[in-house]
Chain A
């Protein structure tokens, strides 16, 4: 059971939701510092500056304070030296100050803390009062945080639903009343021994004196152990109900521009309902969102790593969270930036300048054409399109290409597939086909007509009636359970993953179970009756008061928009209409952001918040102001999806080359180059068909229908190619269901399958056609193949390689037939094989398999 002790386990939740820990960041759009972080030798003594200058007042024997100290050298060089400075207190004996700048109370009085570092110094006065008072320990405010901090109540240990070895705690201590019962009363009180507190099972096991699967968690000399002892001695009190409760936590500093391998001490303060506040630096929990970028220890000391970029540390105390963000610059020269084309570039480039991370150059026309045709049309450019585009000299040709693709049916086909997958357009039974085709057609038409996104969502969400009249009701056929409905809707359209809150307070968010069940109430009045065709349903609003019950508290909740009060709806009102109204309202903080983030990821492989549909405080965007600006632009333009796409695709950022420069090969979050990604299953299959001039016959579809046009999940099941390359089964509201990895089964299929062999070697296929064109030179034919497969002519050395291969094959000594029946190969057959080999090789190149 090592797993519950690793840092990762702090992330352990009770449900399988994604808690991806991804790098994060701010800073973009802000003025970069004039200099990049200099490694100046300290010529003069630094000025030492405390994080705040208020006098420190420590009240009670257990009060603590984390100092945070910065050294300033010149205007632009700041360094956190909390862990490096030396500390003394004069007079001694009032407080104890350790090497990490952490203060503990010794006795009443006044003292001055002096910090020294490389010749600089700073002082601060501290007052201690009530040091001798025996303050009562509060179970929720003192004991539970200790259990959280040591991972006792994490999802991998006692916090999971069934507990661990018979001892259960509420997950992350979200239900302190229950925890008090578990500790004090359950199992006939065997966990606590009042007469001799140190002999309580809780402490013996927790400190490893008795065998404990979770190992030794508590140091017997440590503050936390002593606190538990004190709590037992004081009589196991829960504490008065009127005890102040925590209203929020604040980390300082909130963000910083630092340097590779630098340290940063954090200080966390909890604010209480009575207006008081307390240092909880040593009781809060810390979790790095990306340990490749920065690590954090349990005292809140962050250590940056080498890689440049932004990252964040998540801090949790009871049900409250805050985030610290660090930006680590690379510091390469940044004087040669392209001119921004729009606000996207302004913000992306500003951040790259801050980071000292120069972008790659502009993509060439061929790369752009291939990329935009894939990203907008879901297909490779045709030979004719390639030739025309490369020949054109008009400087506006890229913008015009974007427009023409957006206007084409290909755009609607491609994006309809994307939406059909997350709207789970499944054909679970054969007779579902009418509905799944109709729903796909509805999505496709909406996109083709460019219906505003808010209207699209409203019509979808509040769909009632029968499949033939109102195809979006098909969603309610696939997603029957109201919990699944609420979870899907929140994830797809609001970017909120509410699953956790079904069973407990969301560990990384403000959402509670009341939020969950209040949201479920919107789906509590969906009626169903038999439809016109066998197996079909009519969806209608069942009159009555919409409500749902929180099973833990037993409270009945009316429909409640997230973060708002319950709604009072009349029994005649379909609550889904109210939900749709709230969602598409321009004041809704989630709606527009979610869509722009989803589309951003479509084009850049990574969301500004990533995963794209997990937008929470603790998973902040890499470029917050850009996300805001995009959402604003989208809303102001009437939720016009094509306008949004046009804005993104016309940016210089989108049109950057995928080829890395000396600095940005490892960049994965700052958009300093285009990140290549494997072609999606459908695009790849259609592309191979186009290059080899073959076609696919999908069951129940007319000849000529391409993979990207397929309406429902059945085709993934029917086609080995599509399933092995990750076309989704449409089981999930998350686009992550589409696998974009490269695996061995795929490589095998492309290298050696009967499927691909058939496409290459058929008598009607490309190789056979080319061999017949005897009047054309090898060079001309190879050139054509390159333009078909890669949307560019071959470079001279590529041409030479290919032609040499063809020649060599033609001239190689004939293998004698193995037996009398076998006829020797004709020169024509040998030549055809050589062309098949060449096309095979092109289809297996990275350049073909990837969008770049």
Chain B
């Protein structure tokens, strides 16, 4: 959850609408109020948010952040390399735009996820108590921002911005899992249908009827004061807020048309990959289409949500990083055109925009998949599953940027120095989001959550 300063020129005007329209009319005092509310409730929550861009399928090391151009042809990046703003550091040739942002990023070249299976680790695994990592955060911070109802833990799939996209991929694990953390803390997935909270926020009766009902309730409630003091005093307020939310709609936060069209254009990846140019010979061609059409918008939405109180936003685009060059998936070089190009654009736009808005230290972006890919390129131009090394990139969040952490062996096959594990990654994320010293004092946290959060060891070079 972050608190933002007034970056909106209409701030003064909206200042006058305090308590106006819930999410439909976010006002600065409300935004600022969240932090205060969390502090008041004694929650050990820092003023920060995390966007976790999950590169489902398993991105290759060389073609992303570890090109190895000195290695033999079958090892080195199939897409060449590009110099970055950090002297001596290059990225895979596809990442032309990201290369210019390298000083705002930290690339880990010694990250290992432990195995080469398709699943959704490190986002959901037994390391996270089989819950989406955001559920752990929500368990501490609360499922919703009390003043607005904004969910703290959100997951964005292509459907959130593109109703014609395919359903989210469910074969490899449940992105909305809450494991042993508790069902109430699972991510809120806009556009995904029957989630209790989203459903409840959607107005189904006429405005007039809801107003009639509220009028009647207020009247009846005022006639007999059977219950006073404590929680009861807050109930009336909550009901009013609920009605405001329903009438105003939570849509504003999730509605990209409310964003400056220039900003939208800056993020948008749809123009980069013409759906018709994607070869139909790959069974996953629709995934590539969804990825290109949605990724930029998803990143923009993620930023909007962070500004409005979300603390952990999962973004993923339906399993596109699996570059086998088999009947389902393209090979590396072609795949990077479909997948890497939009990634390069969307992620660099995000880093740049967040920086311009003065939120670099407030929002941490994490990009990785469930594994890496084989160091040697197969004869068909594909790379296969590889569990011993995987790409990992972080940006912002007040961590130390502009560095490469760790080294890989010359074939980009294993960590050569400073191996980083998922436990370190979780530790880094929770260290960013939470005041762990005070998490230790929290009552009522389930023991497993408690010990997971407080025992993590962040990536040393970053903190």
On A, residues with C-beta under 8 Å from B are 3-4, 11-20, 155-156, 160, 367, 484, 611, 658-660, 665-666, 668, 675-678, 716-717, 720, 723-724, 729, 731-732, 734, 736-737, 740-749, 751-754, 757, 795, 797-798, 801-802, 805, 809, 833, 837-838, 840-842, 844-847, 849-850, 852
Contacts and interface: CB of A to CB of B under 8 A. Distances in A.
A676 B445 contact: no
A18 B443 contact: yes
Contact of A841 (B180, B202, B220, B232): B220
B243 interface: yes
Contacts of B230: 668, 675-677
A724 B196 contact: yes
A156 B196 CA distance: 38
Interface in B184-231: 184, 196-197, 199-205, 209-210, 212-213, 216-217, 219-221, 223-231
A723 B235 contact: no
B430 interface: no
B135 interface: no
A540 to B, nearest CB: 26
A731 B242 contact: no
Contacts of B143: 745
A653 B297 CA distance: 61
Interface string B318-336: 0000000000000000000
B437 A156 contact: yes
Contacts of B227: 658, 676, 846-847, 850, 852
A491 to B, nearest CB: 12
Contacts of A740: 231
Contact of A748 (B220, B242, B437): B242
A732 B143 CA distance: 19
B216 A837 contact: yes
Which 4 interchain pairs have the tightest Cβ spacing? A720-B196, A18-B443, A747-B238, A747-B242
Given A156-B438, A731-B180, A845-B220, A748 B246 contact: yes
5 contacts: A743-B146, A743-B238, A745-B143, A801-B223, A840-B213
Central interface residue in A11, A12, A745, A798, by most chain B CB within 10 Å: A745
Contacts of A743: 144, 146, 238
Central interface residue in A11, A156, A752, by most chain B CB within 10 Å: A752
Nearest to B436: A160
B337 interface: no
A729 B231 contact: no
Contacts of B438: 3, 12, 156
Contacts of A734: 443-444
Contacts of A611: 443
Interface stretch (B82-90, B112-120, B153-161, B446-454): B446-454
Interface in B134-174: 143-144, 146, 149
Contacts of B228: 658-660, 665, 676
Contacts, number: 196
B200 A845 contact: no
B183 interface: yes
A737 B443 CA distance: 10
Nearest to A744: B149
Contacts of B241: 744, 747
Given A3-B435, A724-B196, A19 B441 contact: yes
Contacts of A752: 200-204, 210, 242, 246
Given A724-B196, A745-B143, A677 B217 contact: no
Contacts of B238: 742-744, 746-747
A449 B454 CA distance: 44
Nearest to A605: B230
A723 to B, nearest CB: 5
Given A752-B201, A753-B200, A16 B242 contact: no
Interface string B49-70: 0000000000000000000000
Contact of B450 (A16, A659, A675, A850): A16
B216 A841 contact: yes
B213 A837 contact: yes
A852 B226 contact: yes
A626 B339 CA distance: 71
B199 A751 contact: no
A155 B436 CA distance: 11
Contacts of B236: 846
Given A747-B241, A797-B223, A676 B439 contact: no
Contact of B437 (A3, A15, A17, A675): A3
Interface residues of B, number: 60
B223 A795 contact: yes
Nearest to A801: B219
Nearest to A847: B226
Contacts of B229: 660, 665-666, 675-676
A13 B440 contact: yes
B33 interface: no
Contacts of A677: 230-231
Given A3-B438, A742-B234, A659 B183 contact: no
B457 to A, nearest CB: 9
Contacts of A659: 225-226, 228
B239 A795 contact: no
A744 B148 CA distance: 8
B437 A844 contact: no
Given A16-B442, A801-B216, A844-B239, 17 more contacts: A658-B227, A665-B229, A677-B231, A723-B183, A734-B443, A744-B238, A744-B241, A748-B200, A752-B203, A752-B246, A798-B220, A802-B216, A805-B212, A845-B221, A846-B235, A850-B226, A852-B227
A367 B220 CA distance: 17
A748 B197 CA distance: 8
Contacts of A741: 231
Contact of B199 (A754, A798, A844): A754
Nearest to A675: B230
Central interface residue in A484, A723, A732, by most chain B CB within 10 Å: A723
A795 B226 CA distance: 13
A759 to B, nearest CB: 14
Contacts of A746: 238
B444 A798 contact: no
B412 interface: no
B47 to A, nearest CB: 14
Nearest to B145: A744
Nearest to B438: A3
Given A160-B437, A748-B201, A798 B224 contact: yes
Contacts of A4: 437
Contacts of B149: 744-745, 748
A660 B228 CA distance: 8
A446 to B, nearest CB: 27
A729 B444 CA distance: 12
Central interface residue in A675, A747, A749, A840, by most chain B CB within 10 Å: A747
A731 B181 CA distance: 9
A849 B232 CA distance: 9
B98 interface: no
Contacts of B358: none
Contacts of A732: 444, 446-447
Contact of B217 (A11, A367, A676, A841): A841
B424 to A, nearest CB: 15
B182 interface: yes
A751 B340 CA distance: 46
Contacts of A754: 199-200, 204
B224 A837 contact: no
A117 to B, nearest CB: 41
B449 to A, nearest CB: 9
B183 A16 contact: no
Nearest to A160: B437
B440 A15 contact: yes
A833 B209 contact: yes
A63 B227 CA distance: 57
B209 A837 contact: yes
Central interface residue in A740, A744, A837, by most chain B CB within 10 Å: A744
